[in-house]
């Protein structure tokens, strides 16, 4: 249980607040690469602020606060030019570093131009996403986590949810919900809608554990029929502080992303790479993205797939969970650990230190620990994921299924040949 003041501090995202200042030390995906290829400037909201995001003809990206420093017209309607973004109102041009490089009506006042700057952030493209950093300079390196750079076939599901990101992140350190929300509840929905829920999600938890590590918290579990030698415990999977969770199994590699758009809106993204053993390269010039169903025609949550069940649980807690009336038990040790981690990072940033997971060195790839044999279910997990997970809404579902089936057939043939 938290006090009202503690809950307020924990869930803030605005500049100048303790948690808002922590969040500004990280990079966030703010658009799909295809969006700026279709039209080169876009209005985006991040951490309770609106920005103009753009891509120049040469391929250089920029981001700046939406109001023009001149007279506050929207730069999201600006003209993208070779050297920056031109305000649609009076033609002032700002380059990606925030410098004002042209003021058409002030040609004889060059000193004035030098005194005007915009608080530009940094932008990079990685894995089909446009990433932005809008915090203090110098900016840290954009972490090149394995899912964004590995070989495989990709798709990205997303939904904008009317709730604070913290209650979504607390779900990432709550193993026990799986056997009930994705097990017993899934079976209940299936009986009434006429489908069979996947058995792998309903396995009873025998043991859970949590370990802090350099990127956040590793979540471990032992399910019925498994042991501590199995992936779910021996490897586990990580909550990547402050807004990601890395999951996997059966040749599926996924980063679940929870971007704090504002205090009561979170963009939930499922960045999925299909790369099973035996995978053969499939050309993919554009990474498809698709919107996840949240509500049906009657305004009820769609809960006949795994992530839809999670969304229901997150959103029905309210825009901001009231933690002053909750009752945490022993099974909520991961939630308590995460809240402590948030508090520690607020203290670090207040002292002028980098928060957890800040990377300042150039690098090619960061491999995160993640189980391969999810729920001790083997390759069946991938088939369950295609049939009952978010991927079934992907426009590339037929291709995804073929990838997993052909890879499994190839591995089986190789094993048979080796046994002869």
Q: pLDDT for 165-206, tens place per residue?
A: 999 999 999 999 999 999 999 999 999 999 998 877 778 899
113 and 234, same domain (yes or no): no
pLDDT band, very low/low/confident/very high, at 114 (cuts 50, 70, 90): confident
Residue 327 confidence (pLDDT) above 90: yes
Q: Which residue has the tokens 């609106």?
A: 50
Bridge pairing between strands 153-161 and 289-291: parallel
Phi, psi of 199 (to 5 degrees): -70, -25
Q: Is the dihedral of CA 359, 363, 369, 373 positive or negative?
A: positive
Query: Does 166 lie in the same domain as 45?
Result: no
* DSSP 8-state class, residue 74: B
**Residue 101 shares a structural domain with residue 155:** no
- Distance of alpha carbon 195 from alpha carbon 23, whole angstroms: 41
Residues 173 and 114 in one domain: no
Look up the CATH number of the domain holding residue 53. 2.102.10.10
Residue 376 has pLDDT above 70, yes or no: no
Residues 86 and 221 in one domain: no
Half-sphere exposure (Cβ direction) of 287: Cα atoms closer than 13 Å: 23
Do 199 and 89 belong to one domain? no
Q: Which residue pairs, CB below 8 angstroms and at least 24 apart, start in 99-106?
A: 100/69
Assigned domain for 202 exists: yes
Co-location of 155 and 116 in the same domain: no
**Do residues 117 and 41 share a domain?**
yes
Residues 86 and 151 in one domain: no
- Domain membership flag for residue 271: yes
In a shared domain, residues 233 and 331: yes
Q: Tell whether 1 is covered by a domain.
A: no
For residues 89 and 204, state if they share a domain: no
Q: For residue range 246-297, list pLDDT tens digits in order.
A: 998 889 999 999 999 999 999 999 999 999 999 999 999 999 999 999 999 9
Distance CA 223, CA 229 (A): 12
DSSP assignment, residue 376?
G
The domain boundary, picked from 87, 121, 155, lies at 121
Average pLDDT, integer, range 79-92: 96
Least confident of 65-79, 159-173, 337-351, 406-420: 406-420
> 339 is in which domain, residue-wise?
146-419
What is the number of residues in the chain?
420
Percentage above 70 pLDDT, the chain? 98
Which residues, including other chains, have CB under 8 Å from residue 274's CB and lie 6 or more apart? Answer: 152, 153, 154, 155, 251, 252, 253, 382, 400, 403, 404
Residues 285 and 362 in one domain: yes
* Euclidean distance between CA atoms 8 and 110, whole angstroms: 46
Our count of domains for the chain comes to: 2
pLDDT, residue 415, reads 82
Candidates 393, 411, 368; CA nearest to 248 is 368
| 294-322 mean pLDDT | 97
Taken in order 338, 343, 349, 353, the sign of the CA dihedral is negative
- For the chain, the C-alpha Rg in angstroms (whole number) is 23
**15: in domain:** no
Residue 30 inside a domain? The answer is: no
Residue 330 falls inside a structural domain:
yes
Answer yes or no: is 3 within a domain.
Answer: no
Residue 16 lies in a domain: no
């Amino acid at each position: 249980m938290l006090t009202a003041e503690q809950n307020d501090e924990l869930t803030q995202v605005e500049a100048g607040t303790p948690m808002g200042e922590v969040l500004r030390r990280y990079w966030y995906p703010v658009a799909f690469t295809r969006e700026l290829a279709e039209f080169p400037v876009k209005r985006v909201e991040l951490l309770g602020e609106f920005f103009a995001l753009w891509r120049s003809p040469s391929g250089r990206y920029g981001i700046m606060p939406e109001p023009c420093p001149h007279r506050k017209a929207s730069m999201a309607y600006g003209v993208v030019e070779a050297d920056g973004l031109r305000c649609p109102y009076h033609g002032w041009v700002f380059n990606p570093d925030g410098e004002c490089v042209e003021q058409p009506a002030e040609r004889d006042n060059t000193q004035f131009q030098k005194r005007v700057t915009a608080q530009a952030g940094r932008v990079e493209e990685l894995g089909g996403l446009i990433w932005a950093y809008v915090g203090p300079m110098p900016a840290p390196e954009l972490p090149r986590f394995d899912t964004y750079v590995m070989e495989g076939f990709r798709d990205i599901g997303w939904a904008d949810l009317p709730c604070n990101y913290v209650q979504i992140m607390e779900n990432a350190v709550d193993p026990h919900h799986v056997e009930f929300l994705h097990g017993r509840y899934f079976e209940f929905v299936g009986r009434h809608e006429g489908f069979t829920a996947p058995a792998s999600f309903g396995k009873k938890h025998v043991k859970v554990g949590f370990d802090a590590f350099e990127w956040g918290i590793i979540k471990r579990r032992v399910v019925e029929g498994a042991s501590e030698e199995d992936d779910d415990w021996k490897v586990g999977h990580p909550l990547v502080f402050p807004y990601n969770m890395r999951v996997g199994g059966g040749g599926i590699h996924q980063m679940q992303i929870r971007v704090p758009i504002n205090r009561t809106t979170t963009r939930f993204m499922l960045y999925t790479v299909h790369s099973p053993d035996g995978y053969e390269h499939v050309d993919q010039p554009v990474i498809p993205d698709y919107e996840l169903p949240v509500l049906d025609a009657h305004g009820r949550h769609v809960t006949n797939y795994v992530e839809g069940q999670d969304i229901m649980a997150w959103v029905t807690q309210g825009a901001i969970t009231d933690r002053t009336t909750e009752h945490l038990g022993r099974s909520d040790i991961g939630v308590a650990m995460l809240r402590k981690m948030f508090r520690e990072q607020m203290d670090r940033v207040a002292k002028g230190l980098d928060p957890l997971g800040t990377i300042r060195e150039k690098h090619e790839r960061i491999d995160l620990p993640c189980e391969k044999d999810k729920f001790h279910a083997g390759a069946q997990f991938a088939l369950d994921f295609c049939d009952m997970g978010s991927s079934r809404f992907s426009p590339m579902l037929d291709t995804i299924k073929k990838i997993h089936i052909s890879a499994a057939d190839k591995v089986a043939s190789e094993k048979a040949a080796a046994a002869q």
